[in-house]
């Protein structure tokens, strides 16, 4: 089962991708276009050109997960625009994005962090 937690590294691919691509095509895009290693455990999030669907690719150590979410109505209200090829996002904001919300205006609690002090 795939769970998104605050411990995951999540990256949004800023530019849209061709959604005819499957696992191998998206893994190749991670390497060749995004300059990232698809086997690293990073969660990669892609959108199509019309922003009516999202694909999530992640390698969990045993194999790839490829999730495809197509919106029944409307499209994404927000997607990063940047000169960079990727944009980081946290797990809570990705959940908001997947429900067509606006992550930058959501009022979520801060991501998990340890309350235990490290010893010197």
Q: What is the pLDDT of residues 51-90, one digit of tens each?
A: 999 999 999 999 999 999 999 999 998 998 888 999 999 8
Q: Which two three-digit tokens encode residue 109?
A: 């609690």
Q: Find where tokens 């691919």 sit.
A: 13
Structure tokens at 119: 């010893």
Sheet containing 64-70: which strands, arranged edge to edge? Answer: 64-70, 53-59, 43-47, 10-13, 86-89
Rounded to two decimals, what is the model's pTM?
A: 0.85
Q: Structure tokens of 53?
A: 């669907």
| DSSP for residue 61 | S
Per-residue pLDDT band for 8 (boundaries 50, 70, 90) equals confident
């Amino acid at each position: 089962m795939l769970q998104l937690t605050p411990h995951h590294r999540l990256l949004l691919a800023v530019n849209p991708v061709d959604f005819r691509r499957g696992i191998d095509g998206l893994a190749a895009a991670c390497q060749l276009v995004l300059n990232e290693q698809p086997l690293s455990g990073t969660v990669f999030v892609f959108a199509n050109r019309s922003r009516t669907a999202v694909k999530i690719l992640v390698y969990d150590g045993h194999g790839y997960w490829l999730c495809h979410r197509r919106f029944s109505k409307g499209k994404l209200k927000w997607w990063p625009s940047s000169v960079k090829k990727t944009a980081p996002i946290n797990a809570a904001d990705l959940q908001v994005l997947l429900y067509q919300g606006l992550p930058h205006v959501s009022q979520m609690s801060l991501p998990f962090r340890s309350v235990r002090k490290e010893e010197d």
